[in-house]
């Protein structure tokens, strides 16, 4: 279980050097990896100190390779190669300023004390950018791990979080920290700013289908717009926004109970309501709404946007037929339909409604969600 109760901005001074191998060996490649994530519930409200639940999407990942390039620590050079830029890091476009700041912090703190020179960075990603799947946080976590390996330093989980937040706060403004934690762990995460963060296994008889609208989301803009609603001069508007944020917090607690009890039908209802609340906050989009409606018509137990919204991805819950009655017309399911048939039907409906890609995320790791999360 992970305890990241301290969310301080300062970096821990505790580091432990590995005795072997020596850092920055010539010709050696040092690697770091992190995976994608989806927010099951709590997006936007998590920024305002409400809880959220995020799940690892292990079929998507960021791989970072770092290797010494022969430049001196007195005049270090850094070269970046990624999907949309290749060249000196100092000349990288504005939207990579978050990585510049993170690289500088890591090099100054971990490498310069050992007189280690510059290095080349190669980033390979299977996480779509700007889709609410944690791409920027996964890059930050993977880069932190790779540079730590290059320097021969073991970082604690808290230090990895602190470093990755340097990048996330540049990329997104007031980043909650959820993405930095969720992309670094291979279990579900219960997260609340300023409180204890916990990881847990799942025991819910269902599967999520994650669908990409193909449209880049606008997380930073959406977060800023929700903030404006909360502090609007129009009292009715601000009151409704505050009510929506509070309701998302309540739904997150309900969601944890449904996961613990394996109540997939209740989980579906919660997801449906959460999408309506997020729509009330004006962070959905016609494309997301279309996919949500298509999933429900195809028999999904529930569906909602995931992440910042305004594009990006949505998730649809497909229940195990042994749990949800196949004769229920409310489920829109054919009698005798298998789970795989149902999953396939929802996936095909999403693609027909405009999704450009889908991923499958099972919710049944067979371990009960811990009671203390639900306190």
301 CB-contact burial (10 Å; exposed 0-12 / middle 13-18 / buried 19+): buried
Pairing of strands 198-200, 188-191: antiparallel
Quickly count: other Cβ atoms within 10 Å of residue 129's Cβ: 14
Cβ count within 10 A of residue 371: 8
- List, in sequence order, every residue forming a beta bridge with 4; answer none if it has no partner: none
Please confirm, yes or no, whether 179 is among the known catalytic residues: yes
DSSP letter assigned to residue 207: E
What are the C-alpha distances in Å from 194 to residues 57, 123, 176? 25, 31, 10
Return d(Cα 221, Cα 308) in angstroms, integer.
9
Residues 6 or more apart whose Cβ sits within 8 Å of residue 237: 229
Q: Give strand ranges (E) for the chain.
A: 16-17, 30-41, 52-68, 78-82, 85-88, 119-125, 153-154, 188-191, 198-200, 203-212, 302-306, 313-319, 357-364
Closest CA to 252 of 148, 358, 147, 369: 369
Of 120, 162, 179, 212, the active-site residue reads 179
**Residues known to be catalytic:** 179
């Amino acid at each position: 279980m992970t305890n990241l109760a301290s969310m301080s901005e300062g970096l821990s001074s505790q580091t432990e050097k590995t005795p072997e191998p020596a850092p920055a060996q010539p010709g050696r490649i040092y690697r770091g990896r992190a995976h994608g994530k989806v927010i099951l519930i709590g997006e936007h409200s998590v920024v305002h100190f409400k809880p959220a639940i995020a799940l690892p999407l292990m079929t998507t990942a960021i791989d970072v390779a770092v290797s010494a390039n022969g430049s001196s620590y007195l005049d270090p050079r850094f070269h970046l190669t990624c999907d949309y830029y290749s060249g000196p890091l100092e000349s990288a476009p504005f939207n990579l300023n978050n990585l510049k700041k993170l690289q500088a912090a890591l090099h100054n703190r971990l490498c310069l004390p050992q007189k280690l020179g510059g290095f080349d960075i190669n980033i390979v990603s299977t996480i779509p950018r700007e889709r609410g799947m944690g791409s920027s946080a996964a890059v930050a976590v993977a880069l932190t791990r790779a540079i730590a390996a290059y320097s021969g330093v073991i970082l604690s989980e808290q230090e990895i979080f602190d470093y990755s937040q340097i990048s996330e706060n540049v990329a997104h403004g007031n980043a909650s920290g959820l993405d930095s934690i969720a992309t670094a762990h291979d279990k579900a995460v219960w997260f609340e700013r300023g409180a204890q963060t916990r990881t847990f296994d799942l025991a819910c008889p269902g599967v999520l289908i994650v669908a990409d609208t193909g449209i880049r989301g606008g997380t930073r803009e959406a977060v800023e717009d929700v903030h404006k609603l909360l502090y609007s001069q129009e009292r009715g508007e601000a009151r409704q926004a505050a009510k929506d944020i509070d309701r998302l917090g309540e739904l997150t607690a309900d969601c944890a109970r449904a996961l613990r009890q394996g109540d997939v039908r209740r989980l579906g209802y919660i997801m449906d309501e959460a999408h309506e609340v997020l729509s009330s906050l004006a962070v959905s989009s016609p494309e997301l709404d279309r996919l949500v409606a298509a999933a429900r018509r195809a028999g999904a137990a529930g569906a909602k946007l995931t992440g910042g919204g305004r594009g990006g991805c949505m998730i649809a819950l497909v229940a195990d037929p042994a749990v949800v009655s196949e004769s229920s017309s409310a489920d829109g399911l054919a009698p005798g339909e298998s789970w795989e048939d149902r999953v396939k039907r929802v996936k095909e409906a999403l693609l027909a409604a405009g999704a450009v890609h889908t991923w499958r995320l099972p919710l049944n790791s067979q371990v009960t969600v811990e009671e203390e999360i639900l306190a």
